[in-house]
Amino acid sequence: MTHDNSAWIAVSISALTLLNLAFLMYSAYWKLPLAERHLADSLIVSSTKSVWKGNGPVARLNRLSAIALVFTMRGLLERRGLVQRDIVNDVPLSLRIWTAGPILSSCLMLVTAVGYWFLEQI
């Protein structure tokens, strides 16, 4: 890979990371309260709210991660008694996307950045 291509790839990954961070903050401050109201009867949400109190960005992002977990691993959490299927099914699809999407894209960005780093080491 040429030096110019490497630089553009690194800049692109950085720009996408900043854009993803903006989506994470938007979801944490505007969509998280809605999702917490929908899932208020779920044990995982109430437990997470008791551990991560406050309205700081770290607390909000950790609570957002727990809600993303509800939407991505609903079956596992249901078997463990942490959520109820009917409550999760009542959450609108757009709210599910806004809460789980930025978290999943963060994971994808991490895998992409690490993969790019490994390719540069070769």
Parent domain of 107: 3-121
Q: How far is CA 26 from the centre of its chain?
A: 11
**Contact predicate 102/17, CB 8 Å:** no
Percent of the chain with pLDDT over 70: 98
The stretch 39-67 carries a mean pLDDT of 94
Confidence of residue 120 (pLDDT cuts 50, 70, 90): confident
Q: What is the pLDDT of residues 22-33, one digit of tens each?
A: 999 999 999 999
Q: What is the pLDDT of residues 3-28, one digit of tens each?
A: 778 888 888 888 999 999 999 999 99
Work out how many domains the chain is built from and give that number: 1
Give residue 30's region: left, alpha or beta (phi > 0; psi -120 to 50): alpha
Q: How far is CA 109 from the centre of its chain?
A: 12
**Contact predicate 9/24, CB 8 Å:** no
**Contact predicate 91/69, CB 8 Å:** no
The stretch 42-71 carries a mean pLDDT of 94
**Contact predicate 101/115, CB 8 Å:** no
